[in-house]
């Protein structure tokens, strides 16, 4: 049980708190006043008792008013330890060490086709600050096509595939050159990793790829990852495309065993319906599982430059869940908000399972 070891180490602490306080772990409400008989049990009994409680309530309870809930329980079952963890857990990223940040083209390139320098600067500041605090940060950045169109003064994406690849390869250089310049302002070195799907599929190349990440992070360098657009193909018998960078970022989070994936988008998070169509759409603060309802709510295509759309973000969240990790989907307008999010602020949608 995911909780048992945590409880064991925190048992004493939890049981010194009063029933009206929220436990410091932030994931549970614990009551001892009036229900835990201190004369009969010593603190060393607590892990055992807690394990029993966890078995009894394996899924926990989602209660709107935990205090009322506990009072009701005390009345019906006296002298019992109650442990109720709140399905809507408080965010706590203190133990998060390795973070993958994904930024999409729509965050880097403005609607007029120009590069959003302010955003790239904020992003470089945030990532450099996190690296200085000892965190490992990997950036998955789209934008090669957007930068290429900008450099070559083209106002729309070419239709011919070879031309798209040419524009992307020009744009990739421009984008990395800008990243390198802006990150160097914060004394941070960056590196470029361009990949195709076959890299992930062949064990030898996957091992090389993983080793490269580990070494770069050990050296304090930020790996900037993108799909190798210039050579990836999507043909009947040979597919080396990831499809989109939402998926790529979830794969990178998986292979690098990241503790958190942060997806920066053009929207505040996942809503119960498309907010660009429905005025009354509500932001979901916490998603614990990908239900059919959630999949249905993420309809429609993405932005002008982006290729992902909300559905691909949901699919990535499912991959993140499959790997027992977590994800934040948030607006990329102010990348500085990432620092607030890591301090637990309720920004964007948090995808995290409840065991």
The window from 50-58, 120-128, 160-168, 264-272 that contacts ligand ADP (CB under 6 A) reads 264-272
Answer whether 217's CB lies under 8 Å from 208's CB.
no
The DSSP bridge partners found for residue 136 are: 98
Distance CA 3, CA 61 (A): 14
User: What is the full DSSP assignment across 273-313?
Assistant: S-TTT-TT--B-SEE-S--HHHHHHS-S---SS---HHHHH
Answer whether 332's CB lies under 8 Å from 347's CB.
no
The window from 62-70, 160-168, 229-237, 308-316 that contacts ligand ADP (CB under 6 A) reads 308-316
Is 348 a binder of ligand ADP (CB under 6 A)?
A: no
Distance CA 325, CA 96 (A): 10
Strands 234-235, 238-239: pairing kind:
antiparallel
The DSSP symbol for 143 reads: -
The window from 24-32, 117-125, 267-275, 317-325 that contacts ligand ADP (CB under 6 A) reads 267-275
Q: How far is the CB of 178 from ligand ADP (least distance, A)?
A: 19
The window from 43-51, 123-131, 169-177, 259-267 that contacts ligand ADP (CB under 6 A) reads 259-267
Using the structure block, give the residue that is written with the tokens 């926990």.
60
Q: Indicate the residue among 254 and 273 with the shorter CB distance to ligand ADP.
A: 273
The DSSP symbol for 109 reads: B
Is 317 a binder of ligand ADP (CB under 6 A)?
A: no
Q: How many residues bind ligand ADP (CB under 6 A)?
A: 22
SS3 state of residue 75: helix
x/- letters, 74..113, toward ligand ADP (CB under 6 A): ------------------------------x-xx------
- Of the candidates 139, 262, 232, 264, which has an alpha carbon nearest to the alpha carbon of residue 192? 139
The DSSP bridge partners found for residue 234 are: 239
- Residue selected from 11, 66, 148, 306 as contacting ligand ADP according to rule CB under 6 A: 306
Q: Indicate the residue among 81 and 290 with the shorter CB distance to ligand ADP.
A: 290
Is 282 a binder of ligand ADP (CB under 6 A)?
A: no
Q: Indicate the residue among 201 and 289 with the shorter CB distance to ligand ADP.
A: 289
The window from 6-14, 147-155, 249-257, 302-310 that contacts ligand ADP (CB under 6 A) reads 302-310
Binding site for ligand ADP (CB under 6 A): 104, 106-107, 265-267, 270-271, 273-276, 297-300, 302-303, 306, 308-310
């Amino acid at each position: 049980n995911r909780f048992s070891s945590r409880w064991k180490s925190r048992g004493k602490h939890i049981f010194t708190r009063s029933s009206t306080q929220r436990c410091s772990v932030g994931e549970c409400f614990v009551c001892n006043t009036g229900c835990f008989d201190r004369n009969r049990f010593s603190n060393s009994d607590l892990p055992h008792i807690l394990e029993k409680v966890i078995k009894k309530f394996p899924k926990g309870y989602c209660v709107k008013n935990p205090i009322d809930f506990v009072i009701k329980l005390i009345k019906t079952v006296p002298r019992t330890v109650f442990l109720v963890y709140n399905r809507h857990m408080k965010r706590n990223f203190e133990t998060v060490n390795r973070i993958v940040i994904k930024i999409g083209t729509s965050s880097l390139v403005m609607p007029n086709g120009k590069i959003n320098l302010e955003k790239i600067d904020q992003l470089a500041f945030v990532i450099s600050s996190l690296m200085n605090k000892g965190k490992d940060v990997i950036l998955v950045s789209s934008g090669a096509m957007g930068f290429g169109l900008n450099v070559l003064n083209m106002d729309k994406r070419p239709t011919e595939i070879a031309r798209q690849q040419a524009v992307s390869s020009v744009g990739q250089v421009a984008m990395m050159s800008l990243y390198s310049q802006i990150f160097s302002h914060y004394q941070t070195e960056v590196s470029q990793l361009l990949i195709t799907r076959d890299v992930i599929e062949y064990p030898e190349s996957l091992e090389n790829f993983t080793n490269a990440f580990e070494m770069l992070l050990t050296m304090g360098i930020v790996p900037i990852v993108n799909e190798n657009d210039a050579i990836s193909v999507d043909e009947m018998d040979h597919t080396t495309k990831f499809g989109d960078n939402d998926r790529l970022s979830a794969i990178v989070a998986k292979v690098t065993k990241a503790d958190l994936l942060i997806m920066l988008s053009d929207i505040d998070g996942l809503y119960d319906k498309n907010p660009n169509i429905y005025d009354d759409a509500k932001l979901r603060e916490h998603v614990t599982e990908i239900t059919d309802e959630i999949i249905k709510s993420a309809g429609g295509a993405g932005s002008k430059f982006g290729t992902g759309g909300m559905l691909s973000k949901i699919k990535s969240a499912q991959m993140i869940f499959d790997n027992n990790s977590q994800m934040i989907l948030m607006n990329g307008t102010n990348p500085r908000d990432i620092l607030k999010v890591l301090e637990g602020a309720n920004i964007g949608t948090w995808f995290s399972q409840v065991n």
